[in-house]
Structure 1
Amino acid sequence: MRYKLFGRSGLRVSELCLGAMTFGRDDGFWQFGSDSAESRKIFDAFTNAGGNFIDTAFVYGNGRSEELVGDFVRADRDHFVLATKYSSSLEGDLSKSGTSRKNMMRCVEQSLRRLKVDCIDLYWLHVWDDTTPIEEIMRGLDDLVSAGKVNYIAISDTPAWQISRGNMLADLRGWAPFIGIQVEYSLLERTAERDLLPMAHALDLGITAWSPLAGGMLTGKFLDGKGEGRGQHQPMTDRQRTVTALVVEIARELGCTPGQAALAFIRQQDRFGTITPIIGARTLPQLQDNLGCLAVTLSPDQWQRLEQATAPDLGFPHAILQAPMIRDMVLGGQSDRFDNHRAP
C-alpha cells in the first residue's frame, strides 16, 4: 500500500480507504452487516496490507460501526486516519437529522463516545439537506476544529456549487475549509465528471469514491440474471450488462477478477487528480479480492476501451463548450494549438 496527501492538507492516507458501512448488524434496517468477528477479520486484513484510512458514519450499523471501529483502532489509535460523518439518521426525528449546527453538535459528541477517541481526524457532512444555510455549516465545523474535536472537515453527496461556495466562504473568513469530497463513482456511474471532479481538481480537494463496484454489479456476479436475493434488488439494465461483460472480458485478459479490473480503472483515472476507492466488504474473501487491485494495471488499450464504453453524457454547458466550432470561436481559430490545462 502506498500513501499520499489528502487534498489541500498534510493528512497522509493510504491509497485505498476501508469503508466500514458493513461493520455491525442489528434487527432493523442494518441486517446486511457483518458481525463483530467478521468485521475484525476484514479490518485486520486491511491494516496488514498497509491501510490506515478508515471511513464510517454516525448512521452505519445504527451506531454499531463506530463502536467496532473504535474498538479495533484502540491499540494504536494515532496510526489510523479516522473518518466519520453526520447528518443522516434512522431515528425518524426531524430534530435528530440534517446538517444544522444543533444536529452537528449532537452527532459529533456521540461519535466521539462511540469511537472512544478525543478527536476525529476527518469529519464529513454526509448528505446535503438543502435547508441549512452554508454559513451555519461552515461556522459550526470551524468551531469543532477550533475546539480540537475534529482535525479536518470534508463533504459528501452535495452539489458542486454548494461545496465551492462553502470553501470560498471559509477562505474569506479564515475558517477551516473542506479538504475533500466523497462521491459515487464507478464504471457504471461517472456523472461526477460533469462538475464535482473538475471542481475538486481546481480546488485541490481529495476525492474518495463510494460504491466503486456499483453495489457488486461490476464483479460480474449478477450477470446470470439471478441477482434477486443476493443483494441485487433491481434487474440489470442493458447498459449495465454490456459494461459489466466488458469488465469481465478485460479481467480475463489480465488474469484478475472483474472487481479488481474495475477498481484498477478508478485508480488509473488521474485526469482529476488521484481518486481513492472506498472498498467495503461483508466477508474477508471479498476484502482480500478488493485488495488484489493493487497489483493490477490496465494497459492503455484496455483503459481506453473502458473509458469509451462508459463515458458519461456531460450535458449542457459542457457538451457545447467542447464542440470544435465553439472552441474555434472562443480561441481565435487556434483550438488545435491551445493547451487549456490549468493546474490547481
Structure 2
Amino acid sequence: MSLDQYYLLGRSGLRVSRLSLGTMNFGTGGFHASYGKTEDEARPIFRRYVEAGGNFIDTADFYTAGESEAILGNLIAEAGVRDRMVLSTKFTNSVDPGDPNAGGNGRKHMIRAVESSLRRLRTDYLDLFLLHTWDRITPVEEVLRTFDDLTKAGKIRYAGLSDVPAWYAARAQTLAEAHSLVPMITLQLPYSLVERTIEAEHVAAGQALGLGITAWSPLGSGFLTGKYRNSDKGLTGEGRLSGEGGVGYEWTDRHWALLKTLETVADELGVTMAQVALNWVATQPGIASAIAGASSAEQLGSSLAALDFEIPGELRADLDAASAVPPGKPYVMFTPEYQSWIINAGVKLGDKPAGYHPVVRNWVPESQR
C-alpha cells in the first residue's frame, strides 16, 4: 500500500502520485456539509496518505465554503511537509453570491481567488492552480494571461483546467504555445466505469497536447463500491446517492449489469469492487492520477491497496465491454473498424506483401533531379 511510484503530470517535470487525495469532504460547511469531516476527523486520513508516500492533494476554494483549504493548511503545517506536497486548488465557483465578480474565470476573480487560497492554505505559493469549470463567458486569452502573470509573480508553479470542453482545452494549450505563455499541464475530469464519455475527445486531446488527466469520481460517486442495490423503489443503500444526494443520477439496466460484472471480477481477484474500479481508472491510457476521497483512514488504506494488483487482460476486457459507451456520430467514423471499411477499403494498415522492403530516398532539389 505504498504510493512511492510517481508519474510526470502532463508534459512537465512535476512528479505526482498515481492516487491523489481528494479533500472535498474536509470541513463541515457549505455545499458539501452533509458528509463533511472536522479537522480532527480529517487528520488521520491526511496522515495515512502522507505516510504511504502520497504527495498530490486536490482541493478547491469552493469545497466546504473554504474550510477544506483551511484544514489542509493546518494539517500540512502541523506535519511540516509543505515542500514535499504537490498542492492543487481550483477557482471558478462563487464565494460571495452578492458579488458578480466573486465567481467565474475573469482576471479579477482569479487574482482574488489565489490570494484567498494562499491565506487559507498557509502557504506563499500553489503548486497547481486550476480553472474549476468553464464559465462560458471569459475569453480564454484572459485566463491564459492571468495564469502567466501569476506564474511570473511566483504565486503558482503550474496551471491546469478542470471540466472544460475538449475544444476549449485545445485552444488554450495552442494559444499558450503560440504566444510563449505558461502551458497547461493537466485536465481534471470525471472518469470511471460508469462515466467514460471523456474517451471520445478529451483523452486523445490530453495525450496530443501534453495534458495529464486527473480523474475525479473514479468510483462513480460510490456506485461502484457495490453498497447500492436495485429494488422496486429504485436505488437503495446507505451513502451519498441515497435520497436527495441521488438527484440528477439515472441508473439504467446497463449500469446494474456493469455492477454485476464488476462484482464477478472482484470475486475472482479476491479484492473489493471499489479496488477494481479504482485500479481500472488509474491504469487507463492518458490518466496521470486518480483522485480518491475517503471518509476514514481505513477506507483510504483500502483504496491505496488498489495499486497492489493487476487486472488480467481477459477480465479487463469484460469490464471494458460491460462499461462501453457506443460512440455517436461523428465519433463512430473514427473507429478502426469503420476506417478500415470506408477509408482503407478493407485493407488492414501495416499489411505488406512477403519480401517487402521500404525504399529510402534522400530528398534533392528539383533542379538537380
TM over 0.5: yes
Note the residue ranges of structure 2 that are not aligned, 5 or more in a row: 353-369
1:137 matched to 2:143: yes
Separation in 2, partners of 1:90, 1:11 = 29
Distance change >3 Å, CA 147–CA 44, structure 1 → 2: same
* Identity among equivalent pairs (%): 39
**1:287 counterpart letter in structure 2:** L
Q: SS of the residue aligned with 2:229?
A: coil
CA distance in 2 between counterparts of 1:199 and 1:249 reads 33
SS of structure 2 residue aligned to 1:95: coil
Give aligned pairs, total.
337
Question: In the alignment, which of 32, 35, 40 is matched to residue 32 of structure 1?
Answer: 35
Q: Distance in 2 between matches of 1:115 and 1:197?
A: 31
1:118 to partner: Cα distance: 0.7
Aligned in 2, Cα 1:109/1:27: closer, same or farther, shift over 3 Å? closer
State TM-score, norm by structure 2: 0.87
Matches of 1:262 and 1:194, distance apart in 2: 20
Shift of 1:11: 0.5
Q: 1:163 aligns with which of 169, 177, 181?
A: 169
| Paired residue type of 2:298 | P
Are the counterparts in 2 of residues 54 and 81 from structure 1 also a CA contact under 8 Å? yes
Structure 1 residue 243 displacement after superposition: 1.0
Q: Is the 8 A contact 2:140 2:172 kept in 1?
A: yes
Alignment of 1:9 onto 2:24 = no
Matched, 1:81 2:86: yes
- Partner of 2:236, secondary structure, is coil
Match of 1:266 in 2: 281
Matches within 5 A, 1:164-203: 164-203=170-209
Contact 1:58 1:86 in 2 (8 A): yes
Residue identity matched to 1:40: R
CA distance in 2, matches of 1:165, 1:27: 33
Matched, 1:304 2:309: no
Quote the residue 1:313 is aligned against. 326
Q: Which residues in structure 2 correspond to 1:1-344 (within 5 Å)?
A: 1=3, 2-26=5-29, 30-74=33-77, 75-93=80-98, 94-223=100-229, 225=231, 227=236, 230-232=239-241, 233-234=245-246, 236-270=251-285, 273-322=286-335, 324=337, 326-331=339-344, 334-337=347-350
Look up the match of 1:342. Answer: none
The alpha-carbon deviation at position 208 of structure 1 amounts to 0.4
SS at match of 1:30: helix
Paired residues of 2:10 and 2:288 also in contact (CA < 8 A): no
Q: Shift of the alpha carbon at 1:204?
A: 1.8
Show CA shifts across 1:77-106 (max 9, x none).
Answer: 100000000001253242211111111011
Change (3 A) 1:29 1:202: closer
**Cα deviations across residues 195-217 of structure 1 (Å, max 9, x unaligned)?**
00110011121110000000101
Query: Residue 176 of structure 1: SS of its match in structure 2?
Result: coil
Q: CA deviation at 1:229?
A: 5.7
Letter in 2 for 1:83: S
CA distance in 2, matches of 1:48, 1:224: 38
After superposition, the Cα gap between the structure-2 partners of 1:143 and 1:246, relative to the gap in structure 1 and judged at 3 Å, is same
Q: Following the alignment from structure 1 to structure 2, what is the Cα–Cα distance between the partners of residues 190 and 64? A: 31
TM-score using structure 1 length? 0.93
CA contact (8 A) 1:89 1:96 kept: yes
Q: How many angstroms does 1:331 deviate by?
A: 3.5
Kindly tell me: are residues 224 and 315 of structure 1, through their superposed partners in 2, closer, same or farther at Cα, counting changes over 3 Å?
Answer: closer
CA RMSD of aligned residues (A): 1.9
- Matched residue of 2:129: which SS? strand
2:332–2:338: 8 Å Cα contact kept in structure 1?
no
